[in-house]
Amino acid sequence: MNQDEFGFRVRQALNEGADRLDYKTVLRLEQARSAALARQRHAGPATVRLPALQLATAGPAVGDDGGPWGWLRGAGWIAPLVAVAIGFVAISHWQEELEIERLAALDFAVLLDDGPLEAYSDQGFGLLLQAERPADR
């Protein structure tokens, strides 16, 4: 008989002994198990990643398991970047409109002004008109 075979036969005997525990011991073990289960450590709540613009009430998207629309979930982080880019473009466009309006007002003021002609060759004249424009309004 080799070592493994001997170990196997001892194991059978030990299993028999373990199966014959008295009732009180079995009850104590059950109580210990219940007490331990009551204290089981649970992992923290799972992190749910939602696209920034997805409505909380929308529920799970079709294809959550990687279906035809599954890529939308993965692309959710792009939405904030797109919004920021659109914002920059809008601000740039608004500032450009303001500049055009300002230059137009300046040209209009120059055309109506009855100042001396030499003044128009002065580089600071434009700044003077610009400074006086609020008062004109």
Partner 1 sequence: MATREELSEFLAGVERRAFKQAVFAVRDESHALDIVQDAMMKIAEKYGDRPAAELPLLFTRILQNVIHDFFRRSKVRSTWVTLFSALGSADEPDVDPLETLDASGDARSESTETTYEREQVVAIIEEEVAKLPARQREAFLLRYWEDLDTAETAAAMGCSEGSVKTHCSRATGALAKALRERGITL
How many positions of this chain bind partner 1 (CB under 8 A)? Answer: 35
Selected binder of partner 1 within 23, 43, 56, 135 (CB under 8 A): 43
Residue 42, helix vs strand vs coil = coil
Residue 47 or 121 having the CB closest to partner 1: 47
Residue 61 near residue 48 (C-beta atoms within 8 A): no
Helix, coil or strand: residue 47: coil
Which residues contact residue 133 at a Cβ distance below 8 angstroms, ignoring those fewer than 6 apart? 105, 106, 109
Contact at 8 Å (CB) between 53 and 44? Answer: no
Closer to partner 1 by CB, 15 or 95: give it. 15
Q: What x/- string results for residues 3 through 42 when contact with partner 1 is judged by CB under 8 A? A: xxxxxxxxxxxxxxxxxxx---xx-xx--xx-xxx-xxxx
Tokens of 129: 């008109």
**Site for partner 1 contains 49 (CB under 8 A):** no
Contact predicate 133/103, CB 8 Å: no
Nearer CB in complex with partner 1: 27/75: 27
Query: At closest approach, how far in Å is the CB of 48 from partner 1?
Result: 16
Please check whether residue 99 is in contact with residue 77, taking contact to mean a CB–CB distance below 8 angstroms.
Answer: no
Nearer to partner 1, 42 or 137 (CB): 42
Tokens of 38: 């009551």
Distance in Å, CB of 47 to partner 1, minimum: 14
State the residues that interact with partner 1 by CB under 8 A: 1-21, 25-26, 28-29, 32-33, 35-37, 39-43
